[in-house]
A and B are shown apart, each in its own frame.
Chain A
């Protein structure tokens, strides 16, 4: 094991020295989970790290019980690591050097590396093979990544006495043939044949006649190949470098490479900073630009384009926008003089295309983002520029320090490449696993919300996660004990938050930090990445700059807590579908940070240990995601008269059967029901002392009601009289439900839940019983988004829940819902601005009276849409029409909240109020 570690580290060392590598990004497609070696070489000059490693799902499926193996191996490594650590004391000498020295002494250090470095610039791709079978042509070499599993191999080997080359890689090399021609020592490893089913053949890129030159950048010959291969300790990805037999093969290989690309890996490649051709092509023709201009011009040095501090990209379509920057500068200056307020946006038409340009002025600098109106509507663009400014401030402290440092340019290029990809073609980045382009449509609206999507969880799970995070935050682990080392700890953990498949499951962070971190993650596409693919290993480390709220400094009170002047670091550790974001503080009660410290192994370890500890929760989280949504939703297609007609013969209420049908498809209804009652039972058991009479009533009422409600299944006897029983039953149920919620002031709040400060059990049960929000017999709720701005979270059905409601119209409905919400939210934002203005000058001004005659503040806005199915083939009848509302409501008191719901028109209208109230409670 130790030997292997060294081997591996040594390879890292080579990679990190490559001068042409994209900054901050590093990839290795390996499934191994040893910690310290892998990422420590990717650490950048300023201590930044963005290390991403995928676990190949396909290869993983070959391995039985990969997670379990991981766990064991991890602890093994940890022990080794700790020993190393103790031996070395606290010296931060890069251990790799040591290893490379060892390797050198063992004559394993390749000479090729030196050769290469001195030769012509190496392609960036050279050291970043694509996840599965990326091959790179460079001169006459090509790299092929294959997955090897020595465990399987040893069995075969023992039986048949085969060579490792054949067993592990599936490459047949007949050394005898060559011996005649050349000396035995320097024999080249020519591929003479491929073993059927072997990794080399599976990769499809190893051809007979190629010469194996290196394994993981270690030069191999027929002499040392067995020794090198025997160093591979466990299942891992191995990079093989082949000398290509003849250059004529280039053409045949090229198309294969393209085929191998999937959209999913496009995203990953984009993150790694590679140029992804098919993604870039679309962008080329779309005019888009980001510019950072200075308004202060030095008249003496009249250089060309001196006012441009930064701009991206340099494509032709964008060049035009760059050339008219004079317009933006003039407008910014002039309109401020005339109108007295900052310019926010302008619209241009360029080659018959409308392009919006948003402005962000800070000091004497101007940040501009231009995007076509087709792709990004204006209100969204305004939100986007605000987000960009905030992320950059979070990452670099200020816009100036982000744009004015020369060494940031490459990083910013990558940043804005991602930004424009996300803005212009989100569907290409997101939709890999989901059959509908739901992600893309929702990203339009949801991504600009000042909040994080929160996943409501059963109490036990929530508690377990909370405990784990609290343990981490306590920083009580041995290495951090101040007494032990007699020195101050490096960092204090300010808080952390846990994401699962992109949903926030727990957060112990202040709102602003949470939002900033979530924005950072969103920008680097981590949520879609994590939800779609299992991450082998992700470590992100960087210094961040928190927003400091303005404090009243007028009265310096010694009693008032003042935040220490510290530096803050963000650590994100990802494992499988989990993302753990930890905010660390240096200074204050921890020791001061000097220079640009890189990630500290102990903190990364501990974060990862926490994630591993939480592995048990994964099942219940998945269960939560797979369970029918709560409050339950309907699919728009069920409301179309066509489906109604078909089912009419079956029952009086076709919707009901349809609903039952789908729920049966998910799990058998009886088991589902048991599942729910189990929950309530368990919660009741958990805190028997807390159950109050009032809540019991509420729960019982709701329980009775849940019988006829469409999502639980009435037994066959009941079904006959469903119609009669239902209308009164349903009404009662919702009535009871309403009462129950009215009694409680608030429903559970994630943060209170998290800290277990509140009496939860009863509310928890309500949460699970409050299944149907709308009144009437049929559930008419299609979709909802509830935004809670104080905590910075929003609740909306998960992608999984939406995917369950498949149908032809439903995805379109949801897209329309999000589009409409965006415009509703624009109106709300104006209202909020108005409120702020009013609050600023309350004292008798005539303008507020004047303002009353305008449409602000708006507190509720609804739009009724009608839709009919696509491809209506029946010529005789007009297509059936379904009408639905999209309603948004702004709550200013007691704290700003926004709620957007989408429901069928048939709802008895008083239910709208009801839905508002209940959803409101749910989200709080």
Chain B
């Protein structure tokens, strides 16, 4: 039982690098936030080994036991983040990206200056409390994949151009180039400027909007970890429909009070039906009528240059694993594919390597032993396939019915069909 309770715990520790004072520590267990924390002595020695190495010019990066992993990372010689995960299939790639994102989240809400020049530890601790909500959402199971893929999760709306036009006009009137429509943490449409946002904030801003409690309108100060880590900007959010928010990133002007209801109405009232349609898309992500092979249980499509992604497992198909299991399968397959076969997204393809540019990859899960009640394991025989073509990478979760030899054909066709969308 003790082992059971230990399953799937993630502990995140944040310490001041120079003094070793713990700034905060967050935990999750079984995909949900947890209050149980590591004993202080453990925190101390986890930080101690890292510091000891640092003094001898040896940087400890990671350690693994049979079923868990620890990753250390120091940012700007000031903040040390440590993550210890005993989740099944925990991979270093995931943990490293998690730490990057957590630090990004800290900068987003607190600002880089306060993190690099720590004057008052107690005050910093208090300030960092504001980040707990966002950081906790990164630790637990989500419907999104942006934390892992570093690509912005998107929804493909039915009336894309219409919404795009309205958004562009609205942003212009607001005097900002950064505006987007966000539904459940995913971007429906964004202005060109919005898509130019750098790596951490592009993922973090919609994510932040998704985690904040419901409000009709917000004026939220944010630092952009990549774009402006020292000078805060204002994030204005306006709820158009429950679950659908309009985000605008702007400087000191205009104040929220100036965003008059009639401006909103003028731009968005005519589009009420398309907006409702967007909301209906939230779990599925792609229009209902879109032709997809019925064997496809889930898909993850990434555009590595535009850094946008589409992640969905609600494609119908009653049989097979539950949506959360499907998400986990696709996520771990993504980790496998990225860590071992495909080059990481950031690096451009090296032309110097004539052999072994990986193009496709598939995995067949074993027919696991039957459960105690004789019921078939829903995960048995599932296939996962990944193909890469140009800047696009598609990962599919395919039911056991589909023959292995057809996987690549299926993936290539699906990618072809999805190409106009993303």
B partners with A: yes
Q: Is A350 an interface residue (CB 8 A)?
A: yes
Interface contact B64-A343, CB-CB below 8 Å:
yes
CA distance A350 to B58 in the complex (A): 5
Q: Is the CB of B63 within 8 A of A843?
A: no
B304 at the binding interface (Cβ < 8 Å): no
Q: Which stretch from B48-56, B216-224, B276-284 is at the chain A interface?
A: B48-56
Cβ A338 vs Cβ B332 within 8 A = no
Chain A positions within 8 Å of B86 at CB level: 339
In the complex, what's the smallest C-beta–C-beta distance from B377 to chain A, in angstroms? 5
Q: Nearest CB to that of A871 among chain B residues?
A: B354
Contact check, B65 vs A343: say whether CB atoms are below 8 A apart. yes
* Cα A522 to Cα B223 with chains together (Å): 58
Chain A residues positioned under 8 Å from B356 (CB to CB): 812-813, 816, 819-820, 865, 867
Cβ of A67 within 8 Å of any chain B Cβ, yes or no, is no
Distance, CA A913 to CA B57, complexed state (A):
52
Given contacts A347-B61, A348-B61, A852-B321, are A844 and B372 in contact (CB under 8 A)? yes
- Tell me if A337 is interfacial: C-beta within 8 Å of chain B: yes
Report the Cα distance A340→B86, complex, angstroms. Answer: 10
Quote the shortest CB–CB distance from B72 to chain A (angstroms): 10
- B42 is an interface residue with CB less than 8 A from chain A: yes
Is A344 touching B88 in the complex (CB atoms < 8 A)?
Answer: no
Cross-chain contact of A346 among B62, B68, B321 (Cβ < 8 A): B62
The residues in A between 856 and 888 inclusive whose CB is less than 8 angstroms from any CB of B are 856-870, 883
Contacts of B329 in A (CB 8 A): 853-855
A869 and B354 form a contact (CB under 8 A): yes
Beta-carbon contacts under 8 Å, A804-847 to B: 809, 812-813, 815-816, 819-820, 823, 826-827, 831, 833, 835, 838-839, 842-847
Does chain B have a CB within 8 A of A910? yes
B369→A347 contact, CB < 8 A: no
Q: List the B side residues contacting A848 at CB < 8 Å.
A: 368, 371, 377
Decide if A909 touches B58 in the complex (CB within 8 Å).
no
Contacts of A815 in B (CB 8 A): 355
**What 1/0 mask marks residues of chain B from 171 to 201 whose CB sits below 8 Å from any chain A CB?**
0000000000000000000000000000000
With both chains docked as a complex, state the minimum distance between the C-beta of B341 and any C-beta of chain A, in angstroms. Answer: 5
B366 & A863 in contact (Cβ 8 Å cutoff): no
Given the interface pairs A324-B56, A330-B45, A852-B378, the reply to whether A864 lies near B363 with Cβ below 8 Å is no
Residues of A within 8 A of B332 (CB): 854-855
**In the complex the two chains form, what is the Cα distance from A867 to B355 in whole Å?**
4
- Whether, in the assembled complex, A850 has its beta carbon less than 8 Å from a beta carbon of chain B, the answer is yes
A890 in the interface (beta carbon within 8 A): yes
Tell me the chain B residues, 209-267 only, with Cβ under 8 Å from chain A.
none
Residues of A within 8 A of B367 (CB): 859
In chain B, positions 328-387 with a C-beta closer than 8 Å to chain A are 328-329, 332-333, 336, 340-341, 354-369, 371-373, 377-380, 384
Q: Which residues of A contact B328 (CB under 8 A)?
A: 853-854
Interface: B67 (CB within 8 A): yes
Cα A346 to Cα B366 with chains together (Å): 29
Interface membership of B7, Cβ < 8 A: yes
Contact A812-B354, Cβ < 8 Å, known A343-B63, A863-B361: yes
A335 near B: Cβ within 8 Å? yes
User: B404 at the A/B interface (Cβ < 8 Å)?
Assistant: yes
Residue interface bits B383-414, CB-to-A below 8 A is 1, else 0: 01000000000000000000011101000000
- Is A913's CB under 8 angstroms from B405's CB? yes
CB closest chain-B residue, reference A378? B64
Checking A331, A819, A850 against B88 with a beta-carbon cut-off of 8 angstroms, the contacting residue is A850
A345/B406 contact (C-beta < 8 A), A338-B38, A855-B333 known: no
**Given known A-B contacts A324-B52, A330-B49, A854-B332, A340 and B3 have beta carbons under 8 A apart:** yes
Q: How many angstroms from the CA of A864 to the CA of B360 in the assembled complex? A: 5
Q: Which of B52, B59, B363 contacts A860 (CB 8 A)?
A: B363
The DSSP consensus for interface residues of chain B is mixed
- The answer to whether the Cβ of A334 comes within 8 Å of any Cβ in the partner chain is yes
Cβ of A336 within 8 Å of any chain B Cβ, yes or no, is: yes
Distance of A321 Cα from B56 Cα, bound (Å): 10
**A849 and B371 in contact (CB under 8 A), knowing A320-B58, A809-B354, A865-B358?**
yes
Query: Is A912 an interface residue when CB atoms closer than 8 A count as contact?
Result: yes
Q: Is the CB of A847 within 8 A of B7?
A: yes
A344 touching B336 by the CB < 8 A rule? no
- What is the size category of the interface that chain A forms with chain B? 35 or more
- Please, how many angstroms separate the alpha-carbon atoms of A200 and B86 in the complex? 70
Shortest distance between the CB of A225 and any CB in chain B (Å):
62
B142 near A: Cβ within 8 Å?
Answer: no
Contact of B377 with A861 in the complex, beta carbons under 8 Å: no
Residues of A within 8 A of B355 (CB): 809, 812-813, 815-816, 865, 867
A327 within 8 A of B: yes
Complex contact B53–A327 (CB within 8 A): yes
A762 to B371, CA, bound (A): 42
CA distance A848 to B59 in the complex (A): 37
Beta-carbon contact of B56 and A323 below 8 Å? yes
| Inter-chain contacts of A487 with B (CB < 8 A) | none
A residues less than 8 Å from B64 (CB atoms): 343-346
B70 within 8 A of A: yes
A335 near B377 with CB under 8 A, answer no
Knowing A347-B62, A853-B321, A853-B325, the reply to whether A861 touches B363 (Cβ < 8 A) is: yes
| B20 at the binding interface (Cβ < 8 Å) | no
Distance (whole angstroms) from the CB of A924 to the closest CB of chain B: 20
Q: Which residue of B lies closest to A812 (CB)?
A: B355
Q: Complex Cα distance A336/B84, Å?
A: 13
Q: Give A138 to B414 CA distance when docked, in angstroms.
A: 76
In the complex, chain B residues whose CB is within 8 Å of the CB of A809: 354-355
Residues of A within 8 A of B324 (CB): 853
Nearest CB in chain A to that of B380: its residue: A852
CB distance from A526 to the nearest CB of B (A): 31
**Which of chain A's residues has its CB closest to B408's CB?**
A864
The distance in angstroms between the C-alpha atoms of A831 and B379, with both chains bound, is 14
- In the complex, the answer to whether A843 meets B42 with C-beta atoms within 8 Å is no
Q: Does A302 contact B (CB under 8 A)?
A: no
Q: Which residues of B contact A835 (CB under 8 A)?
A: 369
Question: Which of chain B's residues has its CB closest to A358's CB?
Answer: B64
Interface string of A157-200 (1 = CB under 8 A from B): 00000000000000000000000000000000000000000000
In the assembled complex, the Cα of A784 lies from the Cα of B336 at a distance in Å of 23
**Contact for B362 among A340, A839, A853, A861, CB less than 8 A:** A861
Q: Which of B70, B368, B380 has the most CB of A within 10 A?
A: B368
**Cβ of A721 under 8 Å from chain B:** no
The answer to whether A858 and B372 touch across the interface, beta carbons within 8 angstroms, is no
User: Which of B66, B366, B369, B384 has the most chain A CB atoms inside 10 A of its CB?
Assistant: B366
- Closest A-chain residue to B381, C-beta based? A859
Q: Is A341 an interface residue (CB 8 A)?
A: yes
When distances are taken between beta carbons in the complex, the residues of chain B under 8 Å from A342 are 65-66
B65 contacts which of A320, A336, A883 (Cβ < 8 Å)? A336
Q: Please, which residues of chain B bring their CB within 8 A of the CB of A344?
A: 64-66
A851 interface contact, C-beta 8 A: yes
State whether B59 touches A853 (Cβ < 8 A).
no
CB-defined contacts of A859 to chain B, threshold 8 Å = 364-367
Q: Give 20 A-B contacts (CB < 8 Å), ordered by A residue.
A: A324-B52, A331-B49, A335-B65, A335-B70, A339-B65, A341-B66, A346-B64, A351-B57, A812-B355, A838-B369, A845-B4, A849-B371, A854-B329, A856-B89, A859-B364, A860-B404, A863-B360, A864-B358, A866-B358, A869-B354
| B-to-A contact residues, CB < 8 Å | 3-4, 6-8, 38, 42, 45-46, 48-49, 52-53, 56-68, 70, 84, 86, 88-89, 321-322, 324-326, 328-329, 332-333, 336, 340-341, 354-369, 371-373, 377-380, 384, 404-406, 408
Given A323-B56, A339-B6, 10 other A-B residues pairs in contact with their CB atoms under 8 A = A343-B64, A344-B64, A344-B65, A347-B60, A348-B53, A827-B336, A853-B329, A854-B89, A855-B329, A860-B362
Q: Which 9 A-B pairs have the closest CB atoms?
A: A909-B405, A853-B325, A852-B379, A346-B63, A857-B366, A864-B360, A859-B366, A860-B364, A341-B66
**Residue positions of A touching B, CB distance < 8 A:** 320-321, 323-324, 326-327, 330-331, 334-351, 354, 809, 812-813, 815-816, 819-820, 823, 826-827, 831, 833, 835, 838-839, 842-870, 883, 890, 892, 909-910, 912-913
